[in-house]
Amino acid sequence: MELYEVMRTTFAAREYTGEILSDKTLYEILENARFAPSGGNRQGNHVIVVRKDETRGALVKLLEPAAKRYHAQIKAGESPWNTISPTKVTADEIEKTAAPTRLMEPYQTASVLLVITVDLKVVASMDQYLDRVGIISGASIYPFAWNILLAARQAGFGGTITTLAAAEEPQVQKLLNIPSDHAICAVLPLGKPVKQLTKLKRLPVEEIAKFEKFDGIPFAKP
């Protein structure tokens, strides 16, 4: 498969056929994904391969509060978990909201879960003094996570980047014996997608790229 085709057809796969993603194929996926860039080439990425049902069940239970808040905010017309607009949803409303199946089911039905962490001791957080949520550190780990999905697509499998675990980091660290100086970046459920999408909807270049300034004229196709 051509690189551009893989880039244009790798989607958030959450429904799986049940076909096993073998250790051999998973190793090949990670063998290629590991060439993702990281700040200073410090390579602080770490992967926990989770297959046991017992571990999955415990993880799902820990993630339910974060999923319930996410769903409650969606129902209230909010953008979940964002730091600019504080939620108006009450703790009681969150508690009464069911964790959505769409978010929780992939953890149980995927062939394998990959828990991705990054060693904070080797990450350069250039925005740590700004009065906003930190973003820059992600540059040293999310290219690796995305490479995994690209490699999975190439192999005929798929998955999605989920971040609910970060909201419950201390408990997840305890469950999986993750050191306190490693941040949980994502959990990737991987499996054979029920449907392999080939046409994704994304904003056109003209809407996301501008000349010279943020509000400059659109960068149009020559």
Specify the amino acid at residue 58: A
Residue pair 161/188 in contact by the 8 Å Cβ criterion: yes
pLDDT given for residue 98 in this prediction: 95
Report the 10 Å Cβ neighbour count for 162. 21
Going along the chain from its start, the domains and CATH numbers come out as: 3-195 (3.40.109.10)
The residue count of the chain comes to 222
pLDDT given for residue 169 in this prediction: 97
Angle at 17 between CA 153 and CA 48, to 5 degrees: 60
Work out the average pLDDT over 73-80: 96
pLDDT given for residue 55 in this prediction: 97
Residue 1 has pLDDT above 90, yes or no: no
Q: What are the pLDDT digits (tens) for 91-102? A: 999 999 999 999
pLDDT given for residue 136 in this prediction: 95
Q: What are the pLDDT digits (tens) for 109-123? A: 999 999 999 999 999
Residue 6 has pLDDT above 90, yes or no: yes
Backbone φ/ψ region at 19: left (φ over 0), alpha (ψ -120 to 50), beta: beta
Beta strands in the chain (DSSP E): 45-50, 112-119, 158-159, 182-191
β partners of residue 48: 115
Q: What are the pLDDT digits (tens) for 116-155? A: 999 999 999 999 999 999 999 999 999 999 999 999 999 9
DSSP annotation of 190: E
Q: What are the pLDDT digits (tens) for 157-182? A: 999 999 999 999 999 999 999 999 99
pLDDT given for residue 138 in this prediction: 95
**pTM, two decimal places:** 0.95
Using the structure block, give the residue that is written with the tokens 């244009």: 8
Report the C-alpha gap between 165 and 151 in whole angstroms.
23
Question: Of 104, 21, 17, whose CA–CA distance to 56 is shortest?
Answer: 104
Q: What are the pLDDT digits (tens) for 11-44? A: 999 999 999 999 999 999 999 999 999 999 999 9
